[in-house]
Amino acid sequence: MQYLRDKQYYTDLYDLFTIKDCLDEVKSFRKMYQDSLADEKIKDVPQEEKLKGLNYFLNWHLFTTKGERYRSKAQRIAEMVEEDKKKQDFYDKASEPSNITCNTCGKRLFSETKILEDYIDTPMRVLFFFPCKTCKEKKGVYNTGEEFVSKPQLCPKCKHELNEKHTVKSKVITWIKTCPSCKFTEIEVDDFEKSHAEFERKQQEDKELLTKYREEYCLTDEKGKEYIETIEKMKYANEIFEQEKQKYSNTAYQKTVQLKKLSIAELEKLLSELLEKEKYIKLSFDKPEIGQFVIVPFTAQDADSSRKGSDSSINIQKIIKSVLEHTNWRLVNNSVIYRLGYASGQLKGYEEEEDLLEISGIKKEQKQQIDSEKERKYGYDNYVQLARMMGKHEGIENMRRRRLEKEPDGFFLEATESPYTCGICGELTPGNTTWWNLDGLRCKDCWRNIQEEVIPSLKHRYDNDDTYFQDWQIQSDFGVHPATRSKLKREGLLKGRELKRQDGTTYYTVYLIEENKEFLKKYPKKPGIKVEFINSGDGMKVKL
């Protein structure tokens, strides 16, 4: 018997399963689609939409099935080969039991055929058949020396042992079982011609499936590796997203964001003013040493002659430390020296986020470990970059939401945060003049206008739930020429709320829908331009 086959046999077998898996998925989605057409609950969803939605999910399912089948392919095939090799070896090497004699006539017998017996619950065995040419009996003995004993077949009705006879007619064997006790009879027919034909038909069917679908459902090495990378990348992007988001739940991180990042000139001004109050005069900075950090040596003169030696140096250290606490500058440890009325020392400036985190109390090893190998491989991938940005955005939003507990109306952001676009007037404004609350980001002027109740607390202009419109929309959305607009305003049909700067100049006009019902009746909104999203498809073209 041949148990071990050539490599192609296993590849075909594996691919065939993959194809059948995929075809089953297509089948079940087809059924889902048919069912959805009759589903009362979603009867209002257009047929086209249902088809689109299900196609999307089907493609995603097929994408992962194909990919995951590829992922385990090499290993699974190796396992199958290994299993069959074990069988083959066992079968080939099983030694024939010696000195076997016929149970009837006692003659010495020699085996002609053997088969492998491999059941899950018993160790593998090889059964040798010993025919006796004299009495036409056949004796079975295992390689272990045990004799094969056929279990008697019992009558299903009375449990009496059945009599069995068989007749052979060309390739058809007919088995007739009769019960001598209750006359029960059973006839079984083994038609080898028919079962052979059936086997051939199945072989042919499998072959056709392979030819037709292999290319579509069984990934090549190139496509398979691409899949594995895509999944790995998506997982990594997810990790990065969570990690970025988590960063901002850390109080040290909040501190980092809130640190005042001072330039050297700003630092000099801040320090000299405060030190002079404490009678340390003529603060001067020496040439900085610029590396990972910026290190600046300084000297100051102690104008208070009552302070001497270490008293003076301890005192100036205390002052500098407390001044710098909320900035990105630190006094270098043990650098302060006092000599003959001069206090000197070194200041260290931090710039990079990593370093700033350290001065806010996060030690390097405490930071979440990122997989540097994956970072190198995927860190610059667009998908991962996007996840990083989104994680950061969500983390920052969460941090701001927490702050709302203490400042329920909202707050101005930090000067260091990037400039933001005002949600109402659209102007770009630095962080420290951007007011944040759950309604969005507003420049300081729009926020003042809200506080002074010139306008209600409006949402973002692209997300305004149709509560207001703006100057630019009057022409684009309602087809009213700017000249007509002024006329309509004078006549009072168009009512605008003018947003004014502190100096009284108008910088923006907001039109509340509520106050302009008459205008809107006369100038209804023109239908918008239809934006269609086209799915790139990734070459996945299965249609239901």
Chain residues binding Zn ion by CB under 5 A are 102, 104-105, 132, 134-135, 155, 157-158, 160, 179, 181-182, 184, 422, 424-425, 443, 446
Structure tokens at 9: 């046999």
Q: CB 22 → Zn ion: shortest distance, Å? A: 50
Token reading at 333: 């440890």
- Residue nearer to Zn ion on the CB measure, 56 or 472: 472
Residue 19: both structure tokens together: 């194809």
Residue 204 contacts residue 56 (beta carbons within 8 Å) = no
Question: In the Cβ-directed half-sphere of 290, how many Cα atoms lie within 13 Å?
Answer: 3
Is-contact 15 210, C-beta < 8 A? yes
CA distance linking residue 60 with residue 31, whole number of Å: 17
Residue (94 or 422) nearer to Zn ion, CB = 422
Retrieve residue 77's tokens. 């095939």
CB 59 within 8 A of CB 29: no
List beta partners, residue 420.
429
Quote the least distance from Cβ 411 to Zn ion, whole Å.
Answer: 16
Smaller CB separation from Zn ion, 165 or 364: 165
Closest contact distance (angstroms) between CB of 32 and Zn ion is 49
C-beta closer to Zn ion: residue 54 or 454: 454
Report the residue number, 127 or 425, with the smaller CB distance to Zn ion. Answer: 425
In the bound state with Zn ion, the residue whose beta carbon lies nearer, of 222 and 453, is: 453
**Shortest distance (Å) from residue 429 CB to Zn ion:** 7
CB 173 → Zn ion: shortest distance, Å? 23
Question: Going along 322-378, which residue ranges are E strands?
Answer: 329-331, 337-339, 342-349
Name the residue nearer to Zn ion (CB basis): 163 or 251. 163
Q: How far is the CB of 474 from Zn ion (least distance, A)?
A: 19
> Which residue, 356 or 443, has its beta carbon nearer to Zn ion?
443
Place of tokens 């002027």: 445
Residue 114 Cβ, how far from Zn ion at the closest point, in Å? 20
Min dist CB 103 to Zn ion, Å, is 8
Check: CB of residue 67 under 8 Å from CB of residue 538.
no
Nearer Cβ to Zn ion, position 61 or 160?
Answer: 160
Q: Which residues of 217-253 are buried (b: 16+ CB within 10 A; e: fewer)?
A: bbbeeeebeebeeeeebeebbebbbebbbebbebebb
Residue in the structure block whose two tokens are 């997810």: 238
Q: How many residues does the chain have?
A: 544
H-helix or E-strand spanning residue 359: helix 353-359
Cα angle for residues 315, 318, 320 (degrees, 5° grid): 110
Beta carbon nearer to Zn ion, 56 or 175: 175
CB of 441 to Zn ion, least distance (A): 9
Chain position carrying tokens 């004078």: 490
DSSP notation for 127-144: EEEEE-TTT--EEEEETT
CB-facing half-sphere around the CA of 507: CA atoms within 13 A: 16
Instruction: Tell me the DSSP string of 491-528.
Output: HTSS--EEEE-TTS-EEEEEEEGGGGHHHHHHSPPPPP
Q: How far is the CB of 29 from Zn ion (least distance, A)?
A: 49
Shortest separation between residue 470's beta carbon and Zn ion, angstroms: 11
DSSP states of 527-539: PPPPP-----GGG
DSSP-assigned letters across all residues of 42-103: GTTS-HHHHHHHHHHHHHHHHHHHHHHHHHHHHHHHHHHHHHHHHHHHHHHHPPPPSSEE-T
Which amino acid is present at 363? K
Q: For Zn ion, give the closer residue by CB, 181 or 310.
A: 181
Q: What is the DSSP letter of 394?
A: H
Half-sphere exposure of 523 (CA within 13 A, CB side): 17
CB 160 to Zn ion: min, Å = 5
Beta carbon nearer to Zn ion, 18 or 429: 429
155 vs 296, which CB is nearer to Zn ion? 155
CB of 454 to Zn ion, least distance (A): 12
